[in-house]
Structure 1
Amino acid sequence: MIKKIIFIFLILPSVVFSYEIYFYVAASMTKPAKEVVRKFNSQSKVDHIILITGGSGQLLNKIIFSKKGDVYLPASKSFKDKAEKAGIVLETISFLYQTPVFGLSEIGEREIKSFEDLAYKEVRIALGNPKTMALGKIYEDIKIKMPKNLASGIEKNMVVLALNVSQIVNYLKTNTVDAGIIFDSVARVNSFTYLKFPDNYAEKDVASINLLKFSKDMEKVKRFISFLVKNKDVFKKYGFEVIDK
């Protein structure tokens, strides 16, 4: 009787990375972040970036709960402040200006001709959840400065409270809503027509790069942050307003 000997081969990845850097990025910055991460990963032989995207609040909750993460790039100062208050930020670099606007769907373009139409016409509007999304929190601050009848009209026309900007982009692309709050850079990336907030209650926010205390190798993570800053032109290419220092 011939015994068959079965060999089991364990296939290992051809590259073993010495460190994986967890990079948490607000959904509004997904496209340029992906490009920078691809560029870094193609050049690095030992370190590898893992990109995680979502609403700024969602990401912050993940970081705090898991106690895992190296770099956090939320879409607004408010979530950077929350991260600092939670005691998880070691260093911060101001990186981008973010300006909220109302993006319009194809149907919305035909129906909405002025900012006031958002309140005084029967249209469908997507706003953001302030607990999970930077734009939701920013809009709460803007709303305080708006005339009450305008703010209440927009609230009346709200049909969805999104968790992140990717949801709103999808709602606009599919004509699920007529208008949705997004950043001007997101509107440009997706070729949306958009309405600016009137000057007397418009706001410009700051997105910052944050080094997290959970990093196991600060030197490697700082090298990546330096790479990210040096490649800010990628963000400019996608229509973002980069803070030049």
Structure 2
Amino acid sequence: MRKVPIAIGILAVVVIAAAAGYYYTSSNQLTVFAAASLKKPLTKLAKQYEKEKGVKVALNFGPSGGLTAQILQGQKCDLFFSADWKYVVKLQKAGKTAKTKKFLKDYLVLVVSKTGEKKGIKSVKDITKPGVTVAVADPKAPVGEYTQRALEKLGIWDKIVKNGNLKARPGTVNQVATMVKNDQIDAGFVYRSVAVGFGLPIVQMFPHSLTGPIIWGAAVIKGGNEQLAEDFLNYCLEHIDEFKKYGWSPA
């Protein structure tokens, strides 16, 4: 006889949780891993999607390489947005993807802080000057790899390392942008989209001939909530203008 009130109590909790928007079944929960640079537009679209579809979207932002490693280790992920197409290919080769899509393209840019502007940093050559401090993302973040590749081709990488200009190797592109924004560093290398999002002055933009193609990719992860992941991916493609606001172009 005592089991009935307990069952009623549990049902009441479930009903209340559902009414408050806290209760979701596995069919309407979506776990999304995404490159840190996508945080602003993707967060906005996820909130819209939640309201329109009654779906809970859990977003996990970080460096694309690190997120790829987590997926390969078996961490729950339904949809992955990478800042480098090579990580999508890596997951594809490992048999982890149900569907892949080239999503966005971008460019590497040099941005400066207020102090950097005062020091007269007007091109990439100026970052080798004595007293100029520079931030380049860790190579585990694609922007760090793109930056080092471009600076090596320009003959500048060894100079900033040898001269002590390279002062910070943050883990994500957003951390580089934050350091420049907060005037903690004179100059940094970020994506054009990130510079636009943070309102940072762009000193120089680098062509893909120096960096290699900068292509954002998306992957529906096999064994996850594939149908919902594909639906949200299509939703993002339908609202591609939200990404264009930040300097991206459709891939």
Q: How does 1:1-245 map to 2 (within 5 A)?
A: 10=13, 12-14=17-19, 15=21, 16-17=23-24, 18-45=27-54, 47-111=55-119, 112-131=121-140, 133-147=141-155, 150-155=156-161, 156-197=164-205, 199=207, 201-215=210-224, 217-243=225-251
Aligned-pair Cα RMSD in Å: 2.2
What CA deviation, in whole Å up to 9, does each residue of 1:160-216 have, x standing for no partner? 11111121122112111111111011101111112325556354410011111131x
Per the TM alignment, residue 63 of structure 1 is displaced from its structure 2 partner at its CA by: 2.1
Q: 1:239 to 1:22 in 2, by over 3 A?
A: same
Using structure 2 for the length normalisation, give the TM-score.
Answer: 0.84
For the 8 Å contact 1:78–1:137, the answer to whether it is kept is: no
For the 8 Å contact 2:80–2:220, the answer to whether it is kept is: yes
Per the TM alignment, residue 85 of structure 1 is displaced from its structure 2 partner at its CA by: 3.5
- Aligned partner of 1:151: which letter? W
Distance 2:206 2:82 in 1: 25
Number of aligned positions between the proteins: 232
What CA deviation, in whole Å up to 9, does each residue of 1:6-64 have, x standing for no partner? xx87452424333211111111111000111011001012x321111111122222222
- Aligned partner of 1:12: which letter? A
What CA deviation, in whole Å up to 9, does each residue of 1:198-241 have, x standing for no partner? 556354410011111131x3222211111111111111122222
- Aligned partner of 2:42: which letter? A
For the 8 Å contact 2:85–2:102, the answer to whether it is kept is: no
Distance 2:142 2:28 in 1: 30
Q: 1:67 to 1:108 in 2, by over 3 A?
A: same
Distance 1:205 1:235 in 2: 15
Give the 3-state SS of the residue equivalent to 2:179 in structure 1: helix
Distance 1:234 1:197 in 2: 22
Distance 2:180 2:173 in 1: 11
**Aligned residues with identical type, % of pairs:** 24
Distance 1:63 1:23 in 2: 11
Q: 1:198 to 1:229 in 2, by over 3 A?
A: closer
Distance 1:69 1:52 in 2: 9
Using structure 1 for the length normalisation, give the TM-score.
Answer: 0.86
Q: 1:38 to 1:130 in 2, by over 3 A?
A: same
User: Larger % of helix: which?
Assistant: 2
More divergent stretch after superposition (226-235 vs 138-147)? 138-147
For the 8 Å contact 1:74–1:80, the answer to whether it is kept is: yes
Give the 3-state SS of the residue equivalent to 2:169 in structure 1: strand
More divergent stretch after superposition (178-187 vs 59-68)? 59-68
Q: 1:170 to 1:198 in 2, by over 3 A?
A: closer
Q: 1:121 to 1:79 in 2, by over 3 A?
A: farther
Distance 2:213 2:130 in 1: 27
